[in-house]
Amino acid sequence: MTRLTRAAAAKFLGENGLPIAPNTLAKKACDGSGPPYQVWNGQATYDDQDLLDWAVAKLGPKLRSTAERPAKAAPTDAGGTS
């Protein structure tokens, strides 16, 4: 297990083909959608395996063809006009 600061965690994910900014990790820590972390001396620290597990879980399914990609949802009319 390797403990990483938020900046090092972002770099680690990027080096593993899963780029993310440190500020995005901070935002996800605020809203609870990010990887698990612990606080040491007032600073968030991440376990390297937790980072990979979290990021891989966010990936879509493995595909063999672009035809297998799920269709994107159609945008909704936010204006409320009929």
Cα 33 from chain centroid?
8
Tokens representing 25 are 């990790």
What are 48-60's pLDDT values in tens digits? 999 999 999 999 8
Which residues partner with 5 through β-bridges?
45
Q: Which helix (DSSP H) or strand (DSSP E) does residue 11 occupy?
A: helix 6-15
In the block, which residue shows the tokens 């990979």? 52
pTM tops 0.85, yes or no: no
Mean pLDDT confidence for 27-51: 97
The domain locations on the chain are: 3-59
